[in-house]
């Protein structure tokens, strides 16, 4: 197998005998009216790709991503590696937390100083290589000060610290021209209600979001705000449990016009939903924003952040994305890391190739499914009773219980049509494998 340094650019070549080629991702090919690169908008996650080195609960690093350097120099080398990798993989976007890009020291002031140095460097790299920031965010969960939460900490000084870090994040988002900014709950949740004032914590979370919105408008940052739902981990109960819970929160606190959702596949399954369910919930609430692409292992109950290779899932995901009108500010961020045993630089490329090709294939199949039309046609016919007669009156809000009751008394011979689940599943198989 080729060495990492010998691979300059991974290109589309379905006939290639090399492992370092795309079999399905052809960036300039038009699918469903847009180039594949515009439909998929792939992004690289800094934390998993540039920083994570294989540590798990039982053992340390299996991979060295320090480039023989320390301090700020190490993070300059990491930034070079990040852009080199994006170039090799033809990835246009990236995402990071404040703490991912620079060494973290003893004080907020020192961290900000280090981060600003690297941001200056990232700015030059973005211009030089034509790359863009999809979104950034704050790591308001790693430091022990955040052990009881950030915006929902019982300690108001922590709320202020979290605000300072998000303020830096928004200034940086504006400076680097990010298309969005993500709020993942981190440790915003609880482990026991015996020590938790849930009402105050939720109110404070909303106060925090309103302050962030005010600041965004004050500085004129034009990117989108996203909330990323997750049901558990690290806390037993995360306040941003799933898409529906987030929408309830946003509406209760008058924030629904300022936020969209960033749906992560593995978070959906942890919430005992399918990825497709979460995407549809976002879409029907007019809150479809961006995607953290990964997959979990259904036999393990945690966020394993694996590279996505399940083509049923990527197909149904891209089906939802196309139906929602495609990405605007959002994209597909690989919130995914190589397995601990996949500890070479070649593995990083292979993992991205697998993930990108799985989504490229998913896009091709979703487009085929839509063009085939059988699913849409079935769906249309299934709800046809709402297009005329009493059904139309229901939809138009032009009836009442008296009329419906009279109607029901006169129409008791009701035949509900078959849902045809198995047939529809076989249509999906035919599209995928025929």
Residues at the interface with ligand XLS (CB under 6 A): 97, 137, 182, 184, 228, 230, 264, 292, 303, 335
How far is residue 306's CA from residue 293's CA, in Å, rounded to a whole number? Answer: 9
**98/357 with CB nearer ligand XLS:** 98
Cis status, amide bond into 204, omega within 30 of 0: no
Contact 333, 290 (CB under 8 A): yes
Residue by residue, DSSP assigns 54-103 as S-BTTB--SS--STT--HHHHHHHHHHHHHHHHHHHT--EEEEEHHHHS-
User: What is the closest distance, in whole angstroms, from the C-beta atom of residue 351 to Ni ion in the complex?
Assistant: 16
196 contacts which partner out of ligand XLS, Ni ion, none, CB within 5 to 8 A by kind?
Answer: none
Chain positions 220 to 279 lying near Ni ion, rule: CB under 5 A, are 264
Residue 174: CB minimum distance to Ni ion, A: 22
Binding partner of residue 260 among Ni ion, ligand XLS, none, CB under 5 to 8 Å per kind? none
The answer to whether 151 and 159 are in contact (CB under 8 A) is: yes
> Contact between 303 and Ni ion (CB under 5 A)?
yes
Q: Which does 137 bind (CB under 5 to 8 A by kind): ligand XLS, Ni ion, none?
A: ligand XLS
In the residue annotation, 100 being an active-site residue is answered as yes
CA 104 to centroid of chain Cα atoms? 25
* The one segment of 165-173, 287-295, 360-368, 408-416 that binds Ni ion by CB under 5 A: 287-295
**How many of the chain's residues bind Ni ion (CB under 5 A)?**
4
- 190 with 153: CB under 8 angstroms? no
Of 161 and 227, which CB lies nearer to Ni ion in the complex structure?
227
> Which residue of the set 98, 100, 292, 313 is catalytic?
100
Nearer to Ni ion, 51 or 303 (CB): 303
Q: Per the structure block, which two tokens stand in for 74?
A: 């190490």
- CB closest to ligand XLS, residue no: 184
Which residue out of 48, 97, 273, 277 is catalytically annotated? 97
What's the CA gap between 22 and 8, in Å, rounded?
Answer: 14
Nearer to Ni ion, 98 or 264 (CB): 264
DSSP string for residues in 398-423: ---HHHHHHHHHH-----PPP--HHH
Q: Which residues bind Ni ion (CB under 5 A)?
A: 264, 292, 303, 335
> Which residues are marked as active site?
97, 100
């Amino acid at each position: 197998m080729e060495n990492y340094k010998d691979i300059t650019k991974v290109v589309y070549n379905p006939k290639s005998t090399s492992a370092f080629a795309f079999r399905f991702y052809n960036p300039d090919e038009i699918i469903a009216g847009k180039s594949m690169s515009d439909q998929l908008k792939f992004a690289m996650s800094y934390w998993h790709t540039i920083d994570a080195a294989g540590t798990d609960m039982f053992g340390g690093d299996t991979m060295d991503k320090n480039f023989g350097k320390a301090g700020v120099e190490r993070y300059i080398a990491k930034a070079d590696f990040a852009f080199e990798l994006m170039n090799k993989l033809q990835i246009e976007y990236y995402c990071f937390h404040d703490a991912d890009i620079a060494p973290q020291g003893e004080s907020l002031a020192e961290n900000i100083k280090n981060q600003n140095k690297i941001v200056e460097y990232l700015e030059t790299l973005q211009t030089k290589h034509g790359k863009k920031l999809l979104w950034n965010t704050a790591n308001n969960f790693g430091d022990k000060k955040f052990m009881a939460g950030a915006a929902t900490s019982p300690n108001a000084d922590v709320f202020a610290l979290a605000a300072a870090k998000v303020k830096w994040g928004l200034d940086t988002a504006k400076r680097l021209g990010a298309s969005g900014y993500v709020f993942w709950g981190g440790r915003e949740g609880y482990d026991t209600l015996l020590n938790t004032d849930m009402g105050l914590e939720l109110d404070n979370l909303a106060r925090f979001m309103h302050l962030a919105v005010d600041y965004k408008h004050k500085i004129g940052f034009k990117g989108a705000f996203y909330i990323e739902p997750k049901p558990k981990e690290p806390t037993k109960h995360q306040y941003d449990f799933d898409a529906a819970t987030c929408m309830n929160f946003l509406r209760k606190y008058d924030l629904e016009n300022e936020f969209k959702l960033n749906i992560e596949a593995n978070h959906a399954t942890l919430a005992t939903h399918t990825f497709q369910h979460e995407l549809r919930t976002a879409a029907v609430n007019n809150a479809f924003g961006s995607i953290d692409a990964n997959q979990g292992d259904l036999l393990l109950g945690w966020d394993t952040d694996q590279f996505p290779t399940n083509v049923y899932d990527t197909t149904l995901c891209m089906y939802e994305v196309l139906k929602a009108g495609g990405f605007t500010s959002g994209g597909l961020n690989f919130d995914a890391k190589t397995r601990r045993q996949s500890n070479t630089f070649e593995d990083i490329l292979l993992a991205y190739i697998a993930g990108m090709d799985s989504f490229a294939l998913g896009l091709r199949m979703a487009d085929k499914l839509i063009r085939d039309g059988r699913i849409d046609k079935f769906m249309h016919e299934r709800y046809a009773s709402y297009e005329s007669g009493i059904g139309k009156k229901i939809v138009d809000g032009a009836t009442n219980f008296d009329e419906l009751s009279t109607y029901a008394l006169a129409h008791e011979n009701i035949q509900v049509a078959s849902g045809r689940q198995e047939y529809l599943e076989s249509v999906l198989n035919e599209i995928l494998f025929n």
